[in-house]
Amino acid sequence: MAKQDYKKLLAELDPSKLPRHIGIIMDGNGRWAKRRNRPRLYGHRAGVRVLREVVELGVELKIAYLTFYAFSTENWNRPHDEVNGLLRLLKDRLKKQIPQMMEQNIYAQFIGTTVGLDENYWKEVSATVAQTHHNTGMVINFAFNYGGRLEIIEGIKKLVAEGNAEKTTNLNPDNFNEYLYTAGQPDPDLIIRTSGEMRLSNFLLWQSAYSEIYVTETLWPDFNKVELIQAILDYSNRIRRFGGS
């Protein structure tokens, strides 16, 4: 779609019906690279460029929260070279994007577990995103070394470690949120998955209880602003009942 068509599509959005929080399962990098007879890491590099484009549109639309599924706890099972390449790519591209994040007033953070991560690597990447923590604009969550089931288990462990019998007795779905990696944030209104796969793959399992799901056959490196607007338009036309009639 031409640039002018993107702007025309943008005009169709109703500002009152925009999602506050969008989660994105960025899937299809490997298949995209394979179709071009290139290594999987080639697809991951292309995917990082798309992430930047999506962030730019998020800023333009004033989306409050974007959560990207960057690296799951299951991704450690991939080939050693691919994993190491992914970790280097994340660290290097993050450093390069900090000036633009600062200019756009973006607050960036990692959500996930530190279990299994190299201590020096974690210190370096966490210090990088910490540079944005005085910013007050859009929040970007990078779900890194993330697993939805593990998040719930770690939340329970935090609660137990407090030793507060009253809190434990009065635990409910609302106040349990404070023990999750996304504490203080609204649940995602919309979750987008690329590549046509019809599953959440352990992504934001607790938070996505009533999220609207949008699946596109487009592989992540081919995703763009037009695709994102189409997903948001689809979301804005839905009636959200949250379990009601």
Q: Which of 14, 27, 145, 175 is catalytic?
A: 27
* 174 in active site: no
Q: Which of 5, 29, 37, 75 is catalytic?
A: 75
Q: Which sign does the torsion angle of CA 160, 73, 66, 100 carry?
A: positive
Q: Is 142 left (phi over 0), alpha (psi -120 to 50) or beta?
A: beta
* 222 in active site: no
Catalytic residue numbers, as ranges: 27, 75
